[in-house]
Each structure stands twice: as C-alpha cells, then as structure tokens.
Chains A and B, each alone.
Chain A
C-alpha cells in the first residue's frame, strides 16, 4: 500500500457520538487518502450512517476531530464542507423529483459557480450551467434522459443522477452512501465499472451492503461493529480477519 504514505485527504481522530446511552460512534479513527476507495462495512445498526452524518456535517460529534484537505472541519456547516470538495450521495435516493434530470445537475453546478443571489436573469437557458450539467449527465450515462423529470426515472437511473449531482462540483472526495442500494445485478455491475473508472480522479469513502461490490472496488476496508472500528486493512486482510468473521460475516465462510 504505497498510497498510505501520502497525506490523507480525510481523517477522523477518535470520533465519539452518543445518543443517550447508546454509543453510536466509539472512538473511530479512519482516513481516506487520495486515489483510493475506502469501504466502510458493518451490520445494520453498526453506526455507519451516524459516522457519515458527522463527516457531512448533519450530526455533530461529542468529541474527536475531523480533518479534510488539511483543515479542521469538525464544526463546519454542511454547505461549506461541500465547497471544500467533500460531496455525498444519499442512501435513500434524494433527487429533486419535480425537476428534470438536467435541471437537477444544473442546480448542482450552480451551487459551485459562486452565489445564487441573482433574481432577474433567466437561469433556464443559462449555458454556463446547462453545458457542464449535460456533460455530467453523459458521464454517468444519462445523456439521453436529460429532459425527463427525475420522478419519472427508473430507480437505477435516479441513483446514477445522484452520482452526477455529487460530481458536479468536481469534488476531491465522494461519500457514497450505499450507491448500489436497490439496484439489479446488471445495474450494479455498471455502477461498479463506473466507480472504478472514477477512482483515478477522486477518492471515495464507500458505504455499501453489497459485499461483491465492496471486494471488487475497495483498496481498503474498515469494519464497523457497535460503533467501533474492529478491523481495517486490505480486502485480503479483512477476509482473513477472525474478529470480522465472528462479528459480522458469520463463521461459515466468506464472500467470494
């Protein structure tokens, strides 16, 4: 793992989050270095969503720090983190349903081209927004669905749109919250291919239930159980790890 030698893009230091008596994040220290896909796995209720929430700024940690691109972002509001280059996709498809696919991505582009306190000029035919948006749609393979309402897209297409929106600001790190959720085998394979191609350009923190996808894509895997990172390493190391087998994968054999 030569990449580990480089400065991490994102790192957390002993992050703690409690909900009443429940320790949802228990001293988690993880990092993502440029150019890698770091997968976060764990059984339901392991605290993955809470951890992601702290990274995006939707949940405030009780203690510990989060650093991104050399800056302490622990208390930074969500929208400012996005502008530093930390973008996310949502576990539950979260596109703007009343807008067309193109308008969805155009809005994402708009978020990154300075403020939007422009009240009078018509934004509907603004090529400085639509041009990049169209290219973004083509990149994820939705070029021919540009003028379809997001609500009318298939589930898989909506997931692709999610990614296009997250990519609009040219982020250096993508937080992918179960990008394959609810996808068929074929759609999943296409998404895996797409994410792999994307890897050279940006780092990713991948939260995913689909073990096939995780082992195909990840450079490193961290296993979260009851809020604690019980193991972290290459896919091969994780496969061989006894604690992981016991706590998460069940002793009766490993995936693939």
Chain B
C-alpha cells in the first residue's frame, strides 16, 4: 500500500482520491458550492464508467447503451417517488433489481452477437427504453419529472449536499473495490481471457457466454446504482439521462481514461467534466461566443489520445507493473 505511493500512478491516484474524499470541506472553505454539484456528478458518472469498464475494458464488449441503466435506476426511483413511496429502503433495492434484470435480459439476447452487431443491439435496446420513457405521460414524458430525494429516516438526510456527496463517494469506493477484486479473480480472468481470444477460452472448456452474461448483468447493477444517485442528485428524471449521447459519452470517458485499468474510468470522468466546464469559458476568452463550440477542441483532443496514448490517461502515469 505504502510502496504504491512511490510510483507516479500511485501518488496521483492517492491525491485524486484524497481530494475527492474531502471535496465538500474544500468547496465550503473556498465558498464554491457550485463545484460540489459538479463533483457529485463526477463521482456518479465515475461509478457508471467503472461499471462499463468491467465489460468494455476488461471484457472487450463494446456496449453502446450503458446509459440505459442511468434511466432504469433513475426511473425506478422517480416512479416510486411519484406514487408517494419516498423511502430509499424500498426505492433503491427495487431500482437495483430492475437494472439487474434488464441487464440480464439485454445480455442474454445481445451477447449472442459479435462486434458491430453487439454494438447495434445494445444501442437498440437502450433506444427502446429511451422512447418508452419519453412516452410515459404520467411521468412527464419528454419533459421529465421533478422528484424528491430518497428518504432514509433516522439514518441520513440526502437533502444535505455534503451528506449526499459522501454517500456517492462511498458508493464509488465500493464500486472500485469490487472492480479491483473482480479484475484479479478467477471470474475476471475468464472475462479477460475471453477478450483476448474467446474461441480459445471455449476450447479450454469455459462456457464463455455464461460468464459474459454474468459480467454484463453485474455491470448493469452498478450502472443502476449510478442511475439511482443521478436521479437523486438532480431530484429529477427525464429520458435525456439515457439518450444515446450519454452512452457515447460513457464510452469516450472509459477510452479517454484507460480501458481495462482500475482508475482509468475515474480519471476519464474527471478529465471529461473538467474539459466540459472549462473549455467554453477558455474559448470565450479568445473569441466571444466561441464557447458553444468547445467540442471543436475536445474532438481533436480525443483523436490525439486515440492515436498517441492508446492506454488513455492512465498510461501517461508510466508503465503498469
């Protein structure tokens, strides 16, 4: 543990985690409440990115519909809330089970395909849910729905921004812990082996489909967790939270941060949000009104990363041991 701090990667990772752990104190000290809201979204999106990385990075399965779990988790919370069920003790388990079951269903159908077909079918399922969400007149249809934050009476009050942030941060730590165990477990080795050569893994006697299905399902569960938190963060649900653009952003984040690395998705999310927040004002400094087109700068940066830093941001911190 201490030895890990001597490498640049270990040191940077520890610093990032430390800053995230005390972020509410920092934003309070510097009176930058707005930053805490960005920080909360970074932490929530990191959970989703880490969960996508389990199948995309470690498993080599390009799922182009991961934001659907934002939607499933969020809508489960939102719909229950709209019907007066505000207890998190009911909302959260229901949302997690819904996300898990949906992931199992999508996985069972989509994992029978490969490559481009897999990308298209995961996208298609996500779009299906997106349009269903947009058609739910009772829950605001395309406009979405304002909800109240989940209640855990007597335990914690999620309306307190710092408390909510720390809950999200704890969820991120839990997700990272699981991912680190998963990556080096027997199960993780099968998933990574199948990424390298799935025919070979089958010939070794592994029912690869079954292992991938479990990985996909687990990834959906953690994605659902991110959805629960996202709905609570904004106290709002809408189909936009599961649009294909968000799924694309998640893939970009994982690739940007470093596929198949533990902390890559976290670095990717931070970089993504920091650029999204800072590029527009920076561009406006040079030329008034150009801020809107910040993606003109962001796009080429992604291309450069894809061309010259194959391992993403994580690879900039030196060789992996």
Residues of A within 8 A of B (CB): 56, 58, 77-79, 82-83, 87-88, 90, 94-99, 103, 106-108, 110-112, 116-124, 126, 129, 165, 168-169
Contact = CB atoms under 8 A, between A and B. Distances in A.
Interface stretch (B110-118, B184-192, B243-251): B184-192
A96 B181 contact: no
B295 interface: no
Contacts of B190: 107, 110, 116
A99 B190 CA distance: 12
A96 B199 CA distance: 10
Interface string B199-228: 111111111100100100010000000000
Given A79-B202, A82-B204, A117-B214, A99 B185 contact: no
Contacts of A56: 203
Chain B interface: which size bin? 20 to 34
- Dominant SS among interface residues on chain B: helix
A168 B206 CA distance: 13
24 contacts: A58-B199, A78-B203, A79-B202, A94-B199, A94-B203, A95-B200, A96-B200, A106-B189, A108-B204, A110-B189, A111-B201, A116-B186, A116-B189, A116-B190, A118-B185, A118-B186, A118-B187, A119-B178, A120-B181, A120-B185, A121-B185, A123-B184, A165-B200, A165-B204
B196 interface: yes
Contact of B203 (A88, A97, A103): A88
A121 B186 contact: yes
B205 A111 contact: yes
A94 B200 CA distance: 6
A82 B202 CA distance: 9
Contact of B206 (A106, A116, A129, A165): A116
B185 A119 contact: yes
Interface string B277-307: 0000000000000000000000000000000
B189 A123 contact: yes
Given A79-B206, A124-B184, A165-B204, A97 B189 contact: no
A168 B204 CA distance: 9
Contacts of B192: 98-99
B204 A107 contact: yes
A82 B204 CA distance: 7
A110 B188 CA distance: 12
Contacts of A165: 200, 204
Contacts of A94: 197, 199-200, 203
B182 interface: yes
A99 B193 contact: yes
B189 A107 contact: yes
Contacts of B188: 119, 123
Given A79-B207, A96-B193, A119 B202 contact: no
Contacts of B181: 119-122
Nearest to B194: A96
A87 B207 CA distance: 15
Contacts of A77: 207
A79 to B, nearest CB: 5
A117 B211 CA distance: 8
Nearest to A106: B189
A174 to B, nearest CB: 12
Contacts of A126: 186
A95 B204 CA distance: 11
Contact of B196 (A96, A118, A129, A169): A96
Contact of A83 (B186, B201, B205): B205
Interface in B162-181: 178, 181
B80 to A, nearest CB: 29
Contacts of A111: 201, 204-206
Contacts of B182: 119-120
Given A96-B196, A119-B181, A79 B189 contact: no
Contact of B197 (A96, A106, A123): A96
A162 B181 CA distance: 28
A97 B205 contact: no
Contacts of A120: 181-182, 185
Contact of A116 (B197, B199, B211): B211
Contact of B205 (A95, A112, A122): A112
B73 to A, nearest CB: 21
Nearest to A97: B196
Nearest to A110: B186
Contacts of A88: 203
A78 B203 CA distance: 6
Contacts of A99: 192-193, 196
